[in-house]
Structure 1
């Protein structure tokens, strides 16, 4: 299926281009919002050849395509008018909103940064092959590459304006003001500069990140004010004039220096970590990158990465660790493919493994590694080991790009050992992950097995049935299957199997006799272990972590022994729903892999203490 056909298939299952209110893409995903969500068929979208996965997160739909996503996105735009200004306001949590802003501002400029970084890498290779740095060819290619970083404020001005909702051309003008040659001359001269008696701090804003974002943020409010106070007959010129005359001085006197200071602090912290504990951040990134990607938290590092690129010309925060992590995802998937006897799963895992080695990890993550807790742990340990070596050797990434074997050139720089050490870190991560997965992480489950000599299904099943455990509902309400929960982690049983309850009150009680393993700091999740060894997670609501414990009251502590029916947590259902959050309560067996199966009861009304599901 070519890009046009793929785009057409996606449009057919989202209600057409007229239903789209927002469309953009990151490195591997289409990110979309719609007028009428009842027209969206996620299940059909997931079945389209070329679509690696699809999910809805905090009001936004994400369709995983892979590295061809930008071409598919462009094909969709060609097929009809998309009125992005008509996007309805989605009520999402502050954290999700912040991640979405970061993604929307920084993702569009990544191709320019990638191009600039790759040209620099090519220049390094050319110099190693004998090119003279004083030659005109080198000089021209050098300033071509530098332009991608120097004019970063102008590019970020445009993407920020598109996301925050102000005139993008006025925003670009603000970026140009910060980089104007006359202002650059004032900086070079070093003499004090004042505007109406207010000191203008002489800051070089070339390649900066934070100042222009703050400037555009201010512009969104000033432009509305200017629109309100400008008389209609003169609004055409008075509105933009007022906007610039207010925003520019405030930015030069106040916001610009503040943004520069924030960027300096980020650079200092990054520099300190690189110089004193260079192994720490790559090790942590190598270990926890799957969880960061799963939750979308990796977007929060974009300002740090851009600041590092513009300050040093490279970054060591995410690139080295994410490279190793992606390779480890591939190693685990390939190992599972070799061990499993299920032909269909073998094909799925092997394909996902190869794709992960190339840098696209979603098929491996959602299809293989997150399904098995020990496999995921193997990936994280291998990633930590490879990341530790990478950090110890000072590996850096010179430009953005999806880390994988195909994008190894982004690690080529003036130090020829940088790319060599990057490859060694991949070998370390791959080897450790593969061995851990083989000997510890992956064991055949009932569904993976096929009939073979010496395998007696009835005999094994009868032995496992002795572990039958009944799990009661922890809350009054209506039972629903996990597939109906509006969260990919639960709906796809990534965290484990179980069932959910739509509560009618705010009392969570113990579903069995056992122990309180952990109560999350944010009080919305509690982990329990039954006397028989079943490990249970009760998760109150969707995205309620953002409430930071507000509207929750906990009545137990870690290590407490509880009996069936004991009160564990109370929550204010009405207040949580009024804040815009769902209160459905998924009840998950986190050690699902230790059992034969989880058998849910029929959907419908349930009272606290009545059967919710059975563990076999």
Structure 2
């Protein structure tokens, strides 16, 4: 995949660099804060090869990429000046208070998830080595691995100080300094002495509580929130000639004193109360929370509200040493989505859908659910039912048997080691049993409920489309797409581009053209003609969405050898000229002219069936879509 061009396309279609106030990424998504969301070309992005989907929710414009998101993120930063840029999104003022809180939590915790994941998995590896007596807790090998794994958790206030500062519009490095203040060896030494001797800690008569802040969450967030106001105040009162010195001095000194004497202790108490509440909830009914989370996790992830649970889980691991709130239910739900996707992969007779569902299923079982969630679960009732039922059952098992997660990580097969702790494998066994149960149950339910019309009867050498419905209005249940160009029909899976070959963008066919005039294959509207003219998005009056992608990697020609004959938003009939292409010039430039034609909202239909073969002329039927 050409990450440089993909990054440029995404940046251009979110309104350009000037429209981006902030960009971060999580495991699978680019998360933009846009100044004006109306400038974003959502339909164009959805039809862009390499983009799985687009979600505009919670003040963030999210472009779903998949596991390649770090490469696309780096590509965008290499081509722009977004590093450190932070500002409000256009929809911030229209958000409810709840949405604002969720957006804030997401913005604080999303950037540090790789830190928590890495530290958690290192601790999990260490637990495995210890349980199987490969290392002893007195070994130097153990100690080295232990402090490497502990570092991510111990210095969590420093990382949170930086990300919280970005959310509160403060200097992120001053935010990190506040976090480091809580962890300075001199202060931690004073705390240890005070706990042993009872000697009070004070600053000019102001009492400082003897609290240990390593791995804490709430104290630094509260303190950086205060920092944001102090910094703006200091900036306002400081003379311009000395602002460089006075703003960081006033901001850091005042905030640090208030943090140590007031906000830090308050945050510590709040964190302990939260931990006590969930400890009580665990004894009152340990199955309640993981069952609810396991059942409704797909909707939580879709809206971004799962980050509220993630923050609680981090706080619990910092105070209790383990989490039972977020990890348990989300483990069951994640792998259940994998089971549902694999059931569709097994049952479907469509080669392209089979490839997409099987890939998304395996990925979800590993712990990354977005490809399955947006490609399968949310678009199919059978998959959603299977996922929610199996996720709820799996969450109940985790809760009723008291499984505990000690290290975090993205819930799935790869994070099972994070359930090893307290010198026992009990939680690991429960988590492994839950994983197997959730996958199998989701697979069975989805397999039983999933319906796919038998639309193809195979005879030797030919395939004929035979609609299942035989009622008088059966013709209204199908829609035909004709060839936009003259040329040779090629199966989509033979296209030398995995985005099309694996039907990531949808099912359809490809044409190796012999004539460079591209005409409309449907009656409807032109949604978009890309600036580079190499791709055209169309939509029929009934809602069928179609993408014509002229050539492979021809976006790099930047419109050269393409002549646009129509415009965005134009109504078209079958046969309306769209683009004129110089095929010979494109081939001379070293590009393949094969042209995929795909239905981008494939999941809205019972079947997308190739009907043409061999050499076809413009206007010949090539795809039949079954509603």
TM over 0.5: yes
Kindly tell me: are residues 154 and 88 of structure 1, through their superposed partners in 2, closer, same or farther at Cα, counting changes over 3 Å? same
Kindly tell me: are residues 117 and 351 of structure 1, through their superposed partners in 2, closer, same or farther at Cα, counting changes over 3 Å? closer
Match of 1:422 among 431, 435, 459: 431
Within the alignment, does 1:100 sit opposite 2:111 as a pair?
Answer: no
Structure 2: distance between partners of 1:172 and 1:59: 25
TM-score w.r.t. length of structure 1: 0.70
Kindly tell me: are residues 76 and 88 of structure 1, through their superposed partners in 2, closer, same or farther at Cα, counting changes over 3 Å? same
Query: What residue number does 1:47 align with?
Result: 47
Match of 2:152 among 148, 151, 171: 148
Structure 1: distance between partners of 2:89 and 2:437: 48
Match of 1:349 among 354, 357, 374: 357
- The answer to whether the Cα contact below 8 Å between 1:226 and 1:243 also exists between their aligned partners in 2 is yes
For 2:317, what is the secondary structure of its paired residue? helix
Q: CA deviation at 1:454?
A: 13
Within the alignment, does 1:395 sit opposite 2:406 as a pair?
Answer: no
Cα RMSD for the two superposed structures: 3.4
- The answer to whether the Cα contact below 8 Å between 1:341 and 1:449 also exists between their aligned partners in 2 is no
- The answer to whether the Cα contact below 8 Å between 1:193 and 1:201 also exists between their aligned partners in 2 is yes
Q: CA deviation at 1:59?
A: 4.5
- The answer to whether the Cα contact below 8 Å between 1:3 and 1:71 also exists between their aligned partners in 2 is yes
Cα deviation code 1:528-574 (max 9, x no counterpart)? xxxxxxxxxxxxxxxxxxxxxxxxxxxxxxxxxxxxxxxxxxxxxxx
- More deviation in 352-361 or 163-172? 352-361
Match of 1:221 among 202, 210, 229: 229
Within the alignment, does 1:74 sit opposite 2:74 as a pair?
Answer: yes
Query: What residue number does 2:558 align with?
Result: none
Within the alignment, does 1:114 sit opposite 2:122 as a pair?
Answer: no
Cα deviation code 1:138-189 (max 9, x no counterpart)? 2222222222211111111111112211122222222222222332233222
For 2:54, what is the secondary structure of its paired residue? strand
Kindly tell me: are residues 70 and 225 of structure 1, through their superposed partners in 2, closer, same or farther at Cα, counting changes over 3 Å? same
Kindly tell me: are residues 454 and 53 of structure 1, through their superposed partners in 2, closer, same or farther at Cα, counting changes over 3 Å? closer
Structure 1: distance between partners of 2:355 and 2:248: 59
Q: CA deviation at 1:271?
A: 1.9
Query: What residue number does 2:494 align with?
Result: none
- The answer to whether the Cα contact below 8 Å between 2:59 and 2:89 also exists between their aligned partners in 1 is no
Query: What residue number does 1:136 align with?
Result: 140
- The answer to whether the Cα contact below 8 Å between 2:58 and 2:303 also exists between their aligned partners in 1 is no
For 2:23, what is the secondary structure of its paired residue? strand
Q: CA deviation at 1:388?
A: 1.3
Within the alignment, does 1:359 sit opposite 2:370 as a pair?
Answer: no
- The answer to whether the Cα contact below 8 Å between 1:18 and 1:81 also exists between their aligned partners in 2 is no
- The answer to whether the Cα contact below 8 Å between 2:271 and 2:319 also exists between their aligned partners in 1 is no
- The answer to whether the Cα contact below 8 Å between 2:341 and 2:357 also exists between their aligned partners in 1 is yes
- The answer to whether the Cα contact below 8 Å between 1:58 and 1:92 also exists between their aligned partners in 2 is no
Q: CA deviation at 1:18?
A: 4.8
Structure 2: distance between partners of 1:418 and 1:20: 44
Structure 2: distance between partners of 1:59 and 1:91: 9
- The answer to whether the Cα contact below 8 Å between 1:30 and 1:63 also exists between their aligned partners in 2 is yes
Within the alignment, does 1:180 sit opposite 2:184 as a pair?
Answer: yes
Q: CA deviation at 1:450?
A: 4.1
Query: What residue number does 1:531 align with?
Result: none
Kindly tell me: are residues 180 and 51 of structure 1, through their superposed partners in 2, closer, same or farther at Cα, counting changes over 3 Å? same
Query: What residue number does 1:304 align with?
Result: 312
Query: What residue number does 2:485 align with?
Result: none
Cα deviation code 1:88-110 (max 9, x no counterpart)? 65423122221121111112222
Match of 1:330 among 338, 348, 364: 338
Within the alignment, does 1:380 sit opposite 2:391 as a pair?
Answer: no
Structure 1: distance between partners of 2:405 and 2:68: 22
Cα deviation code 1:240-264 (max 9, x no counterpart)? 2222332222222221111111100
Query: What residue number does 1:459 align with?
Result: 470
Query: What residue number does 2:566 align with?
Result: none
Cα deviation code 1:186-243 (max 9, x no counterpart)? 3222322333443322211111110110000011111111112222333332222222
Structure 2: distance between partners of 1:444 and 1:393: 38
Cα deviation code 1:20-65 (max 9, x no counterpart)? 3311011211001345655533233223333221222255321112
Within the alignment, does 1:436 sit opposite 2:438 as a pair?
Answer: no
Structure 2: distance between partners of 1:32 and 1:454: 44
Structure 2: stretches of 5+ with no match in the other structure: 459-463, 477-524, 528-541, 544-603, 608-626
For 1:400, what is the secondary structure of its paired residue? coil
TM-score w.r.t. length of structure 2: 0.69
Structure 2: distance between partners of 1:346 and 1:131: 44
Query: What residue number does 2:259 align with?
Result: 251
| Deviating 4+ runs (over 6 angstroms) | 452-456
Kindly tell me: are residues 76 and 463 of structure 1, through their superposed partners in 2, closer, same or farther at Cα, counting changes over 3 Å? closer
- The answer to whether the Cα contact below 8 Å between 1:110 and 1:400 also exists between their aligned partners in 2 is no
For 1:459, what is the secondary structure of its paired residue? coil
Structure 2: distance between partners of 1:313 and 1:3: 40
Structure 2: distance between partners of 1:118 and 1:352: 23
Structure 2: distance between partners of 1:170 and 1:107: 20
Kindly tell me: are residues 172 and 389 of structure 1, through their superposed partners in 2, closer, same or farther at Cα, counting changes over 3 Å? same
Structure 2: distance between partners of 1:347 and 1:324: 24
- The answer to whether the Cα contact below 8 Å between 1:59 and 1:91 also exists between their aligned partners in 2 is no
Kindly tell me: are residues 2 and 358 of structure 1, through their superposed partners in 2, closer, same or farther at Cα, counting changes over 3 Å? farther
Q: CA deviation at 1:343?
A: 4.5
- The answer to whether the Cα contact below 8 Å between 2:28 and 2:66 also exists between their aligned partners in 1 is yes
- The answer to whether the Cα contact below 8 Å between 2:86 and 2:166 also exists between their aligned partners in 1 is no
- The answer to whether the Cα contact below 8 Å between 1:18 and 1:80 also exists between their aligned partners in 2 is no
- More deviation in 5-14 or 49-58? 5-14
Structure 1: distance between partners of 2:178 and 2:411: 34
Structure 1: distance between partners of 2:467 and 2:8: 49
Kindly tell me: are residues 225 and 117 of structure 1, through their superposed partners in 2, closer, same or farther at Cα, counting changes over 3 Å? same
Structure 2: distance between partners of 1:141 and 1:339: 45
Query: What residue number does 2:327 align with?
Result: 319
Structure 1: stretches of 5+ with no match in the other structure: 466-480, 484-496, 499-592, 597-615
Structure 2: distance between partners of 1:215 and 1:345: 50
Structure 2: distance between partners of 1:389 and 1:280: 10
